[in-house]
Structure 1
Amino acid sequence: MDNLSVVSIRVDQRTDSAPKVQEILTRNGDMILSRFGMHDPQEINTGLITLNVRATKGRINNMLNDLTSLDGVRVNHMEA
């Protein structure tokens, strides 16, 4: 059964981490319903991405594990 979730991703060291985050999100793009990304103008090297995703718990957890394994990336997850 597919689950609807909200994922927030804080990317510190954007210039180093962003390409790796983008690779993971692209690989999982078929489960991403919407995506909103922004950077804090006062924090030049920090960004925030919010996702709405729908997939099995296992697939969502795999993506979360891939993201949290990256240096400078913090992830929060909320199931709806």
Structure 2
Amino acid sequence: MAKYNVMSVLTNKRVENVNQMQNVLTESGCIIKTRLGIHDASEDSCSNEGLIILHLTGSDDEIERLESKLNEIPGIKAKNIRLSSEEV
């Protein structure tokens, strides 16, 4: 039975909180299998909003701790979704 933890991290202050957010993600780097960052970018400007999608591994406590630390940063909303192939 496959189990997946997928966390979405939305920021509306990407430029202002990038260092703090990066520090939290680095601290939890061993439980991040995949990281995908999405934001509008062009030659002239870079959007202040962004979305990060994380595929996580690790214990429930580690994942909950990451979610909590991210949500403490102003302008960030993080939400973990646990998915399983097990029949409900």
- Normalised by the size of structure 2, how large is the TM-score? 0.81
- Letter aligned with residue 21 of structure 2: V
Higher share in strand: 1
Secondary structure at 1:55's aligned position in 2?
Answer: coil
Q: What's the % identity of the aligned pairs?
A: 26
Point out where structure 2 has 5 or more consecutive residues left out of the alignment.
Answer: 84-88
Aligned to 2:79: 76
Aligned length: 78
Measure the CA separation in 2 of the matches of 1:48 and 1:55.
Answer: 22
Measure the CA separation in 1 of the matches of 2:48 and 2:38.
Answer: 11
- Letter aligned with residue 66 of structure 2: M
CA RMSD of the aligned region, Å?
1.7
Measure the CA separation in 1 of the matches of 2:64 and 2:36.
Answer: 20
Shift of 1:44: 1.7
Measure the CA separation in 2 of the matches of 1:38 and 1:75.
Answer: 15
Aligned to 1:26: 26
Q: Name segments (4+ residues, structure 1) moved above 2 Å.
A: 40-43
- Normalised by the size of structure 1, how large is the TM-score? 0.88
